Structure 1
Amino acid sequence: MRIGMAKKKMIELNNILKDHNIPIELKLKLLKCLIWPVVMYGCEAWSQKKDDDKRIEAAEMWFYRRILRVTWTDKRTNESVLKELETERTLLNLINAKKLKYVGHALRNHRTSLMKTVCEGRLDGRRRKGRPPMSLLTNLTTACGLSLHQIVQKSQDRAGRQQKVRSSIANG
C-alpha cells in the first residue's frame, strides 16, 4: 500500500498544517488534492482484504487528526473529529469508485477481449487447498452489491455505470 508515502507527504506539509491563518477548509482541499492521489495511485488493480480497508480508514483518520493537530493521547473519538471538520470518510469509497470505472472501461474495450476473458473465464485445472485468494472482482462485487454478471451488463451501458458509481460514492 502507499499509505507510508502519503504520510511522508503529509509530514512535509507540516508548516502549512500548523499555520493558524490558513482555514481548515483550505487544508482539507489541500489534503484531497495533494495526499489522496498519493494514496490512490494504482488502486484500480488492488485486491484489498478487510485488514487493508481498516488500514486505509485508519490512515484517513490520521490525516484528519493531523489537520486538527489532535495527538494520539487526546481522548477524541473519530466521530468528533469528523464532526469538527464537517466531513465524512470518503477515501475507501473513492478507491472502490475508481475500481468500478476501470473495470467498466476495460470491459467496453473492443480491441482486446483479455479483460472479458479474465472476468468471465474459468481456469483449467484444480484449485489449491485453503481459502481462495481475494481478487479484484470479489472486491468489486462486495463493494457495489452486484454480481459479476450484473457488473458486466452495466459496464456496457456507460450512463448506467456512471450512475451506479456516483450512487456508490454517495451511499458510502
Structure 2
Amino acid sequence: MLNISIRTRRRALECYIEPILMYGCEAWTISKQTQKKLEVTEMWFLRRMLRISWTAKKTNDTVLEEAHTTRLLISKIRKRQATFFGHVMRREKLENLVTTGMLEGKRSRGKQREKLIEGLADWLKAGKSLEAIEATKDRKKWRTMIANAVKQGT
C-alpha cells in the first residue's frame, strides 16, 4: 500500500472529487435535507480518504481532527452561489428576471418552492431578499457580505 500523506490526499480530494460533486451548484436551492446529505457526503469522503471503516465507532469530530480540517463543503457551495448570483444581478438581463422570480404568470398550487435568493439572503443574514439584491449593485459591499458569511460558517 502507498504511504501518501493526509495533506496530499486532501488536496487530491479537493482537486478531483469536489469539483465533480459541486458541478452546477450555483443554481441549487439548498434545503435542510439537502444540506444534511451534503454534510454526510463530505464526511464519507473524509472517512474513505482516511481508510476508516463504517463499522469503526469514530465520531465525525474525531474524523475531522484526524484529517486536520473542518466542514467546508457547504461554505464553498454557498460562496460560489453568492458570487454567481452577484454576477447575474449586475447584468440585468433575462437571467436576472428568472433568478429573482419576477416573471409574470400564475403560480402553481401547493407549497411554493424556495428561491435561490431566499436561501442566500438567509445565509448572508441580509434580512430580506431585496436587501441582498440591492447589495449586489455595489461590488465591494457584496464581496464584504460574502466574506463575512464565510467567516461565520454555515
Deviation for aligned residue 1:128: 3.8
Aligned to 1:19: 2
Deviation for aligned residue 1:120: 6.4
Q: Distance in 1 between matches of 2:104 and 2:35?
A: 28
Query: Gaps (5+ residues) in structure 2?
Result: none
Residue identity (%): 32
Q: After the TM superposition, which parts of structure 1 deviate over 4 Å for at least 4 consecutive aligned residues?
A: none
Deviation for aligned residue 1:46: 1.0
Q: Distance in 2 between matches of 1:29 and 1:167?
A: 25
TM-score for the superposition, normalised by structure 1: 0.80
Query: Gaps (5+ residues) in structure 1?
Result: 1-17
Q: What is the RMSD of the two structures over their aligned residues, measured on CA atoms? A: 1.7
Aligned to 1:165: 146
Paired amino acid for 1:152:
I
Deviation for aligned residue 1:91: 0.4
Q: Distance in 2 between matches of 1:95 and 1:43?
A: 6
Q: How many residues align?
A: 151
- Choose from 75, 83, 94 the match for 1:114: 94
Alpha-carbon deviations, 1:87-133, whole Å to 9, x = none?
A: 11000111111111111001111xx43234331626443x4443211
1:148 is aligned to 2:121: no
Aligned to 2:85: 103
TM-score for the superposition, normalised by structure 2: 0.89
- Choose from 81, 89, 95 the match for 2:71: 89
